[in-house]
């Protein structure tokens, strides 16, 4: 079983040496190692995969002793993450994740799918995943969001994934899942922020469209980007056809970003991701 050590702290001389010394003295075996020093703010990031037996508390204490104050240490492994999915009416991202989940390819347990519409209930239940329908009809935005939040919290997930959830979430909601809330936006951000990006792309006459998976923060479509991808389009495609073509990009980009996050390959630092 592989273990993962994720460390970040202000950069100083000897950090790699000090960390690997601790691991060596615990007789642990590094199988893969990545470091990066962010130059704008001089911040150090290191992700280490290793094998071997160790006393968790002693190892953490030794690492803290060796490293500067203010260090962030995460000692974890690649076990499956508990997640909840939010969706609305479009199926393509949800379908893709349910299939990967069913075949053990997602590195996550989907605890529940929550939606403000019922159209994806059948699909979800085919795969023996609970589906919770929380209509927004006749409720204020606050009421509906509170209900959704309550439903999510009942599952206590590590990550919440917006698989084409078409309602805007309040900063209060987002604050509950800082760096744990992942969205797929159907454009090549920062182009076409907001609603109807394919209509915007058609209107502008672009020759390439894309999709962006990102952590959600308080500002709409402004959170740290995890993955992006694109496909070429041309003048023969209507906004609707661009949207169709874009779906395959969206689902692949979202799945790719979840793999990175669930495999603990992503650091979030300020408004960016560092990906190993």
Catalytic residues: 221
Sign of the dihedral through C-alpha 215, 230, 36, 79: positive
Binding flag, residue 20, a second copy (CB under 8 A): yes
Longest dimension (CA), the chain: 64
For a second copy, give the closer residue by CB, 149 or 209. 209
Binding range to a second copy, per CB under 8 A, among 25-33, 107-115, 155-163, 164-172: 25-33
Please report how close the Cβ of residue 145 comes to a second copy at its closest, in angstroms.
Answer: 27
For a second copy, give the closer residue by CB, 85 or 152. 85
Q: Going residue by residue from 51 to 90, which x/- string records binding to a second copy, judged by CB under 8 A?
A: ----------------------------------------
d(CA 223, CA 193): 12
Binding flag, residue 219, a second copy (CB under 8 A): no
Binding flag, residue 151, a second copy (CB under 8 A): no
Q: Parallel, antiparallel, or unpaired: how do β-strands 108-115 and 131-133 relate?
A: parallel
Q: Can you tell me which of 121, 127, 136, 144 binds a second copy, judged by CB under 8 A?
A: 127
Q: Can you tell me which of 149, 177, 182, 210 binds a second copy, judged by CB under 8 A?
A: 210
Binding flag, residue 248, a second copy (CB under 8 A): yes
Binding range to a second copy, per CB under 8 A, among 53-61, 156-164, 174-182, 186-194: 186-194
Q: Can you tell me which of 7, 23, 242, 254 binds a second copy, judged by CB under 8 A?
A: 23
d(CA 259, CA 188): 20
Q: Can you tell me which of 9, 35, 121, 263 binds a second copy, judged by CB under 8 A?
A: 35
User: What residue ranges bind a second copy (CB under 8 A)?
Assistant: 13-14, 16-17, 20-21, 23-24, 27, 29-39, 91-92, 95-96, 99, 102-103, 105, 123, 126-127, 188-192, 204-208, 210, 224-230, 234-236, 238, 244, 248, 252, 255, 271-275
């Amino acid at each position: 079983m592989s273990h993962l050590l994720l460390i970040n702290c202000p950069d100083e001389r000897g950090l790699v040496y000090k960390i690997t010394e601790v691991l060596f003295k615990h007789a642990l075996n590094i199988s893969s190692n990545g470091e990066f020093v962010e130059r704008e703010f001089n911040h150090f990031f290191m992700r280490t995969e290793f094998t071997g037996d160790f006393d968790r508390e002693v190892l953490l204490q030794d690492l803290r002793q060796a490293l500067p104050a203010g260090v962030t240490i995460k000692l974890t492994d690649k076990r499956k993450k508990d997640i909840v999915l939010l969706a609305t009416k479009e199926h393509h991202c949800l379908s893709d994740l349910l299939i990967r989940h069913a075949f053990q390819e997602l590195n996550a347990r989907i605890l529940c799918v929550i939606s403000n519409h019922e159209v994806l209930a059948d699909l979800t239940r085919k795969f023996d995943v609970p589906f919770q329908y929380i209509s927004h009809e006749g409720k204020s935005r606050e009421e509906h969001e509170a209900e959704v939040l309550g439903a999510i919290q009942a599952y206590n997930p590590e990550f919440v994934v917006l698989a084409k959830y078409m309602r805007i979430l309040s900063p209060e909601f987002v604050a509950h899942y800082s760096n744990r809330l992942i969205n797929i936006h159907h454009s090549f951000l920062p182009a076409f922020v907001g609603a109807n990006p394919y209509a915007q792309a058609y209107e502008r006459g672009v020759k390439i469209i894309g999709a962006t998976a990102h952590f959600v923060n308080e500002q709409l479509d402004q959170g740290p980007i995890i993955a992006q991808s694109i496909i070429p389009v041309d003048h023969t495609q209507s906004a609707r056809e661009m949207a169709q073509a874009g779906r395959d990009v969206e689902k692949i980009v979202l799945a790719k970003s979840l793999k990175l996050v669930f495999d603990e390959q992503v650091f979030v630092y300020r408004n960016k991701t560092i990906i190993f």
